Amino acid sequence: MEEGQIPPLSFMDKLNIGGIPLTGHVVLGPMAGVTSLAYREFMKPFGVALSYSEMISDCGLSYHNKKTLDYAKTSHIDRPVGLQLFGFDIRNTAQAIEILEAHADYDILDLNFGCPVQKVTKTGAGSAWMKRPLDLYQYVRMVVTKSHKPVTAKLRLGWDSTHINIQEIAPALEEAGVKMITVHARTAVQAYSGKPDFHQIAHLGSQLSIPLCVSGDIFTPEDALNAMKIADASLVMVARGGLGNPELVTNIENAIEGKPCLPPPSIAKDAEYALRFSQMLRKEKGEHEAVLILRGLLPHFFTGFPGYKKIRAELSVNPHSFDDLQKLLLGIRDRNHL
Ligand SMILES: Cc1cc2nc3c(=O)[nH]c(=O)nc-3n(C[C@H](O)[C@H](O)[C@H](O)COP(=O)(O)O)c2cc1C
């Protein structure tokens, strides 16, 4: 580079979403049934720069369904936080935005254009929008006009391998006023099978002025760096990889900043994490619902440790009360402290 020349801005530096600054590069991805307020609060101290709620039905909100509004609960800990809506009709979405703005405290409104589940796509919502790009742009423009919060969007590569259209859709959504785009680098038809293909979004981040976030099989810091480099993305989304492995968030941020990984946690430390998360979830959901959810989530904390199968069987079948569950976790922790 010539002397005096200003170096080009690195794609990693785009860390502002419509005026909301981010302090890191790792986004906690929305996961239905998982990314409760308690989960977001538990994950935050590991270095989450931005959290998302699970997808919230705009119809559920506009029918004043109490459970639906519960998904929009936030706190001062999980900030900045985006609430994610899914819908198919701007009238419902507009009403849902009014309800969120009146009753929820949040920073960003996210639109789900990636859900592949048939119950959702058959209504025209989720990834079905990617089959109708012109309608999608009009919908997004109307949402951007309606929302007083910055709007972001989460998409896939396209509907199927013969209709990959993310490279056209992403710049058009920026034009429509979206302030950050996340791409899960699979098609809707793939759902969660096969491998994500980040080459389909090669350099997309450099073609946008807004930040790009990449998603799909991010299980290690290498996965994160690889996906970000291919796509020129400034952000990376941790979803399944963070289940039972909260230090993944820290390790990815460290890798981006050129710092070493944390030493792998001991089983006792993971039992401590599992206990902490369990207590937070019980506080949010109450004992009965928390136990049901925890039976599904806690085994993830022990993946890869010797005796995993036995631990998984114990945690997913035996606990009928929070006390049972806590005793099991304390047992794992204390046995392994010796
Ligand atoms: C159980 C589960 C629920 C999900 N729910 C949502 C959701 O509500 N909204 C959304 O945009 N993506 C959702 N996703 C997709 C994730 O946010 C992420 O994009 C996807 O899992 C790919 O990342 P990963 O392979 O690193 O997990 C969900 C994924 C899983 C596994």
Residue 186, ligand 1, Cβ within 6 A: no
**Residue from 88, 128, 84, 131 nearest 104 by CA:** 84
Which pLDDT value is given to residue 256? 93
CA dist 272 and 231 (Å) reads 36
Residue 54, ligand 1, Cβ within 6 A: yes
* Rg of the chain (C-alpha set): 20
Q: What is the pLDDT of residues 71-114, one digit of tens each?
A: 999 999 999 999 999 999 999 999 999 999 999 999 999 999 99
Task: Scan for tokens 């085994």, then name that residue.
Answer: 299
- The tokens for 226 are 């690889």
Which pLDDT value is given to residue 1? 44
Q: Are 191 and 175 in contact (CB under 8 A)?
A: no
Which pLDDT value is given to residue 66? 87
**Residue from 170, 222, 226 nearest 197 by CA:** 226
- The tokens for 54 are 């699970």
How many CB atoms within 10 Å of residue 194? 12
Which pLDDT value is given to residue 297? 96
pTM of the model: 0.95
Residues of the chain short of pLDDT 70, as ranges, are 1-10, 337-338
- The tokens for 51 are 């959290």
Which pLDDT value is given to residue 337? 65
**Best mutation site among 184, 228, 237 for ligand 1, i.e. most ligand atoms within 8 A of its Cβ?**
184
- The tokens for 11 are 């794609």
Which pLDDT value is given to residue 8? 44
Residue 217, ligand 1, Cβ within 6 A: yes
- The tokens for 42 are 């538990």
Beta strand 20-21 pairing with 16-17: antiparallel
Which domains can be identified in the chain, with CATH numbers?
11-256 (3.20.20.70), 267-335 (1.10.1200)
Average of per-residue pLDDT values in the chain: 94
Which pLDDT value is given to residue 316? 85
